[in-house]
Amino acid sequence: MCGIFGVFNYQGDMSSYRQRALYLSKKIRHRGPDWSGCVVKGNHIMAHERLAIVGVDSGAQPLVNEDESIILCVNGEIYNHRHLRAQLKEDHKFQTHSDCEVIMHMYAEMGTDFIQHLDGMFSFVLLDVKRNRIIAARDAIGITTLYYGWSSKMPGTIYFASELKSLNEECDKILAFPPGHVYDSETEQTTRWFNPTWWDGDKIPNTPLDYTVLRESLETAVRKRLMAEVPYGVLLSGGLDSSLIAAIAQRETEKIASGGANADDDNLDESGPRSWPKLHSFSIGLSGSPDLVAAREVAKHLGTIHHEYVFTLQEALDAVADVIYHLETYDVTTIRASTPMYLLSRKIKALGVKMVLSGEGADEVFGGYLYFHSAPDKAAFHTETVTRVKNLHTSDCLRANKSTMAWGLEARVPFLDKALLEIAMNIDPQEKICDRSKGRMEKYIVRKAFDTSDDPTAKPYLPDSILWRQKEQFSDGVGYGWIDKLKDVSEETVTDEQLSKAHEKWQKDCPTTKEAYMYRTIFDSWYPQEACTASVVRWIPRADWGCPEDPSGRAQKVHASAY
């Protein structure tokens, strides 16, 4: 991934504004420490901070087509770029090996309809010089981050950036660009391009469950994400989701590296395993934490090159303010989980690794959070999964993207593959329902899809102790002392009087706990402008299902070590 910054229709002296634009782009250089680029066309400017993963030797951006009529800045990866190149009807001269260059040429042939054909995670801004038109789009679920903003001092100008921090000094209105949407300056409209069959959460699906289809779709999702020309690995918490991703990645890495895969399949770019045939895994936790113990067991079972990092409570506390700066949110559960991920990402980058696979999305798609045990019926269960997937860009996707990109590390999330979502979100939700009386724990169907116990000749994907391990939210799994310490510190930092008067200080998203108050105060120190809060969404558990306000998994009564 990378960092992008663009301004369309700047109403001032562009020659002098160029330096200002470079300063604003530099604020997100952590996303792309490998190279910087800037192109000015008329009163438009496009800047880019590059993290080189594919086309390392020639993929510097902004990308410019043959006659310089199209300028493109992209943050993300297009997994089916080879297939898309082969589908082009005209003879285009590709000037780089970047997976993203195909976007320009598809636009030239198809207009904005091409976005439907992209398989990947992406945010991009494209300038059509001949039509004086700018196009911006974001991937289906919002795995990558993108914001756009406006200034009342300069009506008619629109700003785009990968992170809020590049816009907050410039704009008095800033919004998170909606996932699955495209903006067109000719219409000045932002419209949805992503229209899957499952989008209407009130329409309850009834497709029968097919374990083989489910398993193979996840395997394909992992395989296509092994596209890289740089060292890569997997984030391994020892929970079901990350462990399955690691297990599949290890199998695919071994298969591709040994020549067992189909090298002629232009739908897949298998450059990763061919260049880096040994899979590295990474875990983090407090000393003796549940995740460290479980991850160690998984790594041993799979045979990965495993890296384990132990952090202290003080190290994590010292990082919280910086985490909030990078996350650009004050959501409690996001900050809790992001801090260990932020610390781990720095360790990973120090080893020269630039891309990791991660397990985000599984709990939303399959109802894996422990509070789903409280769903009153299958309709409510399904509707909640759709709602959670639609809002992933405000929580887990935001966390995974910004915690890692703070150190120039890219995270890819196979569970949010478009094809996998089309299958998983259309399964009869009765199959996903948690029912302890019938031995059906959370994400039962995912576990069963990868359970080889009925075939004595099959190689197990995971040890049973991991495959059937209870859901442990990352912020809990790194060590129960982490959340306990945050609560203790907030009790010491925020007085009862301050909390009682919080409503006088904040009209929007008024914190109701001392921990939330502490985070909101830190957020305001980084982002004091009123426009900065419009893009923040706080997640609160389903009180109408009888769930407690605390978003921790341990707060749920079904947790084995509940509060």
Point out the residues that are catalytic: 2
72 is in an annotated binding site: no
358 is in an annotated binding site: yes
Alpha-carbon torsion 54, 57, 59, 65, what sign?
A: negative
What three-state secondary structure class fits 352?
coil
| End-to-end Cα separation, the chain, in angstroms | 39
Q: Residue 474 is inside which H or E element, if any?
A: helix 474-477
What three-state secondary structure class fits 363?
helix
Structural tokens at position 272 = 């990763």
Cα–Cα distance for residue pair 372/442, rounded to 1 Å: 8
113 is in an annotated binding site: no
Alpha-carbon Rg for the chain in angstroms = 23
Q: Residue 504 is inside which H or E element, if any?
A: helix 502-505
Per residue, what are the HEC states of 6-56? EEECCCCCHHHHHHHHHHHHHCCHHHCCCEEEEEEECCEEEEEEECCCCCC
For 236, residues 6+ apart whose C-beta sits below 8 A from its C-beta are: 242, 243, 246, 281, 282, 283, 295, 298, 299, 304, 306
Cα–Cα distance for residue pair 225/358, rounded to 1 Å: 11
Alpha-carbon 461 to chain mean position: 25
Alpha-carbon 535 to chain mean position: 16
Q: How many other C-beta atoms lie within 10 A of the C-beta of residue 17?
A: 17
Sequence ranges of the binding site for L-glutamine: 99
Sequence ranges of the binding site for ATP: 235, 284, 358-359
